[in-house]
Structure 1
Amino acid sequence: QAQTGVWDVRASFLPAIYFEGVGMAGGISVLLPPQPADDAIAGRVIGGLDGLIITGGRDVDPAAYGAQRHPATDEPVSDSQARDV
């Protein structure tokens, strides 16, 4: 949920530092909001990109990428982890 101006709606947003950094590196940012998508659609979208930054959060289990869990890591949320990974 995000509230700004006259809006008080469900929203996807990203801190400006991410897309500013991509722009400074010569890229163009594309925000892919969390949404259900089958593998074929996701593959076509990602296949059209030169790079991918997954901002995520502390909800991705470090075991998914072969790392040890840090004591401050939250319990993974399986729906978002499947989408993020």
Structure 2
Amino acid sequence: MIWTLIVGFVVGLLARMIKPGADSMGWILTIILGIAGAYVGTFIANFLGMNAASGMSYLIFSVIGAMILLFVYEILTGKRR
């Protein structure tokens, strides 16, 4: 459980650093973003026929998934760049 929170926080921070624009969300939303991004990224990897169960591929696909969720969050909240 603690490992999931740590990985979620790291993935959320990486996605927020890579994606352009200011996203004002606290550390709890960053953790939720990272955890949800990991699920989305794993789904995308499985859809493409890739294995993203662990390692660097897991991190890359998790960050991609979190960035997708950030774009959706931006659309839903009506933020503009």
TM-score by length of 2: 0.28
More strand, by proportion: 1
Return the structure number with greater relative CO, CA threshold 8 A, min gap 6.
Answer: 2
Find the structure with the greater CA-based Rg: 1
More helix, by proportion: 2
TM-score by length of 1: 0.27
